[in-house]
Amino acid sequence: MSIATINPTTGELVRKFDEMSADEVERRIALAHDAYLRHRLTGFDERARLMRAAADLMDSDADELSKTMTVEMGKTRESARGEIAKCTRTMRYYADNAGKFLADAPRDSAAVKAQDAYVKYLPIGPVLAVMPWNFPLWQVVRFAAPALMAGNVGLLKHASNVPQCAQYLGEVFTRAGFEEGCFQTLLIGARHVEAVLRDPRVQAATLTGSEPAGRSVASIAGDEIKHTVLELGGSDPFVVMPSADIDRAVKTAVFARTQNNGQSCIGAKRFIVHADVYEEFSAKFVAGMDALRVGDPMEDGVDVGPLATEQGRKDVEALVDPALAAGAKALCGGKRLDGAGWFYPPTVITDITEDMDIYRQEVFGPVASLYKVADIDEAVSLANVVDFGLGAVAWTEDADERARFIRDLEAGAVTINGMTTSYPELPFGGVKRSGYGRELHAEGIREFCNAKTVWVGE
Ligand code: NAP
């Protein structure tokens, strides 16, 4: 894949970038290593000051930056602005809390016959971050903010279709005052990731993206005995039980499936509705999806822009078209929109059977799979049928049902009467083939720390 900005709204090539040479990559890894040797010795107060300065810069760049995001991957301007605000909130959150999360943690000294025993959280060095285009700032910042606050340094290999966002992120921390080398972008294709990951100066890796990319990075890192965090795909269930407030559930369902033009790992993708409320939910949900305004994501009032890449739209069609040919029904949408750009309309598919690929795979576009179930047992088992386990949502007012969903839904997060959302204040991550490890909150910042055991005798 060449490194280029191609506007998904028009299909036009905006700007092409040369990949960095092996010499330039080597120079940047060396710079990262050198910067780490000094950055690790700085205190939390100093790092927090710089992190807040980076957040201030990003806030003041929001107008231009949100435009760049929309041009590169097609998200609506409003959601681009929202993403920037979430990034700066998270940067300030870690500026405020990193010292607390990484404070020495005392242990029972007497039990281990020590004068003092505790855990000290120390940085580990340069960490490689391989990141996707769908939230081109947020995916990176939720790694970068805790990493830099912990005293680590970062090397970013961003997705090849968002090079201008990548360049911005490779500069903003230095502009804010972090030493050059603390956070850099490597403009390289996926095939060059292995060499960086095997470099002895690179200590660990985090990858957000697809299963094949995660498998490749994890196996190379495994071979090198390096720690990894993987945030992979999801086909999240959204269960609606009879006691739910249907109007609120519908409104949330429409947004959860179409936010970011349907390209969110934690977007609800499979809607599993109890038979008693199925007709009502289905009618209102289809009406809500159909009413969304699809169009130029630069324009105010547009709800759904194009898919980010031409291949992304083909991938959606490769799941929807065979299902429709085999007997599934589209209650709305179901066919690409004519004209320039990679537009695909909000779609609701029903009558899906187990033999269809759409039953188990993730659809990365505004396509909802709708199922009717007889009871909670069937709802839980259908929710858990996929190999993924990222987020899961259930709508119910019944306390026993809530407890059952919280216990039995196979996911890294369960949300009752809402939609899966990531917050800096809560850990985030998946189980099963959605990956492992956690980002955000204290769990996230400790992933790339050496939890060093200290035992001091008399
Ligand atoms: P992708 O193809 O896996 O790309 C993600 C990143 O990995 C890009 O930087 C890509 O580089 C790189 N990459 C691809 N193949 C690689 C390989 N073999 N070795 C090393 N790096 C490789 O993913 P995508 O299709 O762009 O993103 C969509 C997927 O990400 C969906 O499955 C979505 O659910 C998942 N996702 C998960 C989360 C989460 O938090 N769990 C969040 C967002 C997205 P190039 O661009 O150069 O190919």
**pTM, to two decimals:** 0.98
CA atoms within 13 A on the CB side of 4: 12
The CA-atom distances, in angstroms, between 411 and each of 134, 193, 364, 422 are 21, 29, 18, 14
Q: Do residue 328 and residue 376 come from a single domain?
A: yes
Please tell me if the CB atom of residue 208 comes closer than 6 angstroms to any atom of ligand 1: yes
Residue to probe by mutation, ligand 1, list 208, 236, 314, 386, most atoms within 8 Å of CB: 208
Q: What would the pLDDT profile of 27-41 be if each residue is shown by its tens digit?
A: 999 999 999 999 999
* Total domains in the fold of the chain: 2
| Distance between Cα 133 and ligand 1 center (Å) | 8
List, in sequence order, every residue forming a beta bridge with 272; answer none if it has no partner.
Answer: 239, 371
**187 in contact with ligand 1, CB cutoff 6 A:** no
* Catalytic residue (one of 83, 231, 410, 447): 231
Using only the alpha carbons of the chain, give its radius of gyration.
23
Helix (H) or strand (E) holding 330: strand 329-332
The verdict on the CB of residue 130 being under 6 Å from ligand 1 is yes
The answer to whether 182 is a known catalytic residue is: no
283 and 162 within one domain? no
Domain identity same for 146 and 288: no
* Under 8 Å between Cβ of 260 and 309: no
CATH assignment at residue 276:
3.40.309.10
CB hemisphere CA count around 45 (13 angstroms): 0
CATH number of the structural domain spanning residue 217: 3.40.605.10
Task: Please check whether residues 165 and 280 belong to one and the same domain.
Answer: no
Tell me if 131 CB under 6 Å of ligand 1. yes
**Residue 278 falls inside a structural domain:** yes
Task: Indicate the pairing of strand 4-7 with strand 388-389.
Answer: unpaired
Answer yes or no: is 428 within a domain: no
- 155 inside domain: yes
pLDDT at 3: 98
Residue from 96, 100, 91, 65 nearest 79 by CA? 65
Distance CA 391, CA 385 (A): 14
| pLDDT for position 65 | 98
Q: What pLDDT is stored for residue 110 in this prediction?
A: 97
Phi-psi region of 305 (alpha: psi -120 to 50; beta: other; left: phi over 0): beta
Task: Please tell me whether residues 194 and 276 are part of one structural domain.
Answer: no
The answer to whether residues 440 and 331 belong to one domain is no
210 Cβ below 6 A of ligand 1: yes
Q: Is 195 helix (H, G, I), strand (E, B) or coil?
A: helix
Q: What is the pLDDT of residue 187?
A: 98
Q: Are residues 396 and 445 in the same domain?
A: no
Residues spanned by the domain of 261: 236-423
Q: Where are the alpha helices (DSSP H) in 176-210?
A: 193-198
Single out the residue of 371, 361, 393, 406 nearest to residue 234, CA to CA.
Answer: 361
Q: Identify whether 165 is a catalytic site residue.
A: no
Query: What are the Cα distances from residue 9, in Å, to 83, 135, 169, 448?
Result: 19, 17, 23, 38
Question: What's the CA-to-centroid distance between 454 and ligand 1, angstroms?
Answer: 38
Which DSSP category does 242 fall into? Answer: T
**429 occurs within a structural domain:** no
**CB of residue 439 inside a 6 A radius of ligand 1:** no
- What residues of the chain score a pLDDT lower than 50? none
Residue 458 confidence (pLDDT): 85
Residue from 77, 45, 43 nearest 62 by CA: 77
Pair 246, 211 in one domain: no
Q: Tell whether 111 is covered by a domain.
A: yes
Q: Six-digit token pair at 162? A: 């968002």
Contacts of 1 by beta carbon, 8 Å cutoff, 6+ apart: 160, 161, 189, 190
372 and 318 in one domain?
yes
Among the atoms of ligand 1, which is closest to the Cα of residue 160?
46
Asked if residue 299 and residue 180 are part of one domain, the reply reads no
In this structure, are 196 and 304 located in the same domain? no
Protein residue with its CA nearest to atom 9 in ligand 1: 159
